[in-house]
Structures are given as C-alpha cells and as structure tokens.
Chain A
C-alpha cells in the first residue's frame, strides 16, 4: 500500500530564509508525487508534481522539489521564504490512476 511520511509537523523560518520540507513515500513502483498547499480555511492548491523525467521539478510561487528514488524522498524547497508562504503543506503520492494518499502535513510559520 502506498504511504507518505512528513516527519516535521511544524516548522518556523524567518522571512527571507531558505526552506526545505521533508517527504518520504512508500510505493512499489514509480510513484506520481505531488505537493499541495493549504492556507487556513482554503482548499488544496497544487504546487508541483513529479511523474517522470527530470528529478528536479519546478512549481508555482518559486517552489521546487527533488525526487530521489534511492531515498524514497520528494523534498520541497524554496530559496527565500515570504510571509505569504505561511500555510500547511501536504506531500502526496498516487500509485495509479485513482486515489491520492496524503501525508499528515507540515505547518509552516514565517516570522519577520
């Protein structure tokens, strides 16, 4: 069965600092991987996705993520965080054409 682990429940960074959110997945074959962001009271917005090809994928809002098969990881990065990036971030995996399995999320707090 597919699963996702986000080891950090809560992360605090200073505005302008770099950010890395960790994600590890479990799936038997090549997974489809996603990062979604959820602002308070809002829905889930897709930041980026990895299906195949280049293991470094670029997303919206200046985010990128790197797929590392050997580590079963898909960490999300941003070189310089803005206050508006404060939200909850979900890593997700899809093994086929159907359900997406989400991690428990990482809440990002940005301090001035």
Chain B
C-alpha cells in the first residue's frame, strides 16, 4: 500500500540554524500539508500546498517557514532560523481527489538545542 515517507526521522540542530524536512507524498496525490505536534500537545496545521503554491497557512507559519516542491516527488519544509520552540514532531500529509482523505507520514522529530 502506498504511503507518505519522511526523512530524516530525527533531526537535531542548533538554535539559529536552517533545517529542511523532507517528505515524499503518495505519488498520485496533488494536495500536500505540513502539521506539527509539540510534545504533549495536539497536532496543529501549518500549511497546505497545491499546484505549486500555498493555498492556506496558519498563524504559526511565519516568515521563518517556507515550503517547496523542488521536483515531481519531494515536498519540503524549511525553517530558516530555528528557535527552541520549533522543537516538535513535524508531519507531512498528502491527499488525493478520489478518497478526499489526508494520509500522514511517520513524522520527523526536530530537536532544537
């Protein structure tokens, strides 16, 4: 069964550094999303992406964040200058028109020191 994959599974970085989290959505999906889950808290929406542009973003998704689909298979989330409070599990999701359901990847745990 096709699934969303994410790399790396765990990323440790120093405050102020740039990180890129990578996702490979399910191949025939056209809608892509990033969510995050701070430890012990609920899953929060960050951004949705369709047709090579952001279609919706939350107030969390400020200028430090950006998303890109650099090729036909990858979908990335970049955090330009990480802060301690960016430490969280980041989930990528993709959706197709047929099932109209978002399928989530296993997540990348980001630790900012």
**B106 contact from A42, A51, A100, Cβ within 8 A:** A42
Contacts between chains A and B (CB distance < 8 A), count: 45
**Is A98's beta carbon under 8 Å from chain B?**
yes
Closest to B46 in A: A99
Are the C-beta atoms of B42 and A100 separated by less than 8 Å? no
In chain A, what residue has the closest Cβ to B55?
A: A98
Distance in Å: Cβ of B4 to nearest Cβ of chain A: 8
Contact of A105 among B42, B55, B58, B102 (CB under 8 A): B42
B residues neighboring A (CB under 8 Å): 31, 33, 35, 41-45, 48, 55-56, 58, 91, 93, 100-107
Task: Say yes or no for A103: interface residue by CB 8 A criterion.
Answer: yes
Q: How far is the CB of B42 from chain A (nearest CB, A)?
A: 5
Knowing A36-B104, A43-B105, A51-B100 touch, does A99 contact B58 (C-beta < 8 A)?
yes
Contacts of A25 in B (CB 8 A): none
Q: Is the CB of A44 within 8 A of B91?
A: yes
Given known contacts A99-B45, A99-B56, A103-B42, is B107 in contact with A43 (CB within 8 Å)?
Answer: yes
Q: Report whether A46 and B101 are in contact in the complex, using a CB–CB cutoff of 8 Å.
A: yes
A43 engages B56 (CB within 8 Å): no
Please, how many angstroms separate the alpha-carbon atoms of A9 and B54 in the complex?
34
Residues of A within 8 A of B (CB): 32, 34, 36, 42-46, 49, 51, 90, 92, 94, 97-105
Measured in the bound complex, the distance between the Cα atoms of B100 and A46 in whole Å is 13
A58 CB to nearest chain B CB (Å): 15
A90 to B89, CA, bound (A): 15
Across the two chains, which residue of chain B brings its CB closest to A94?
A: B102
Tell me the nearest residue of chain A to B106, going by C-beta. A43
Cα(A42)–Cα(B37), bound, Å: 12
Q: Is the CB of B45 within 8 A of A100?
A: yes
Q: Is the CB–CB distance between A49 and B56 below 8 Å?
A: no
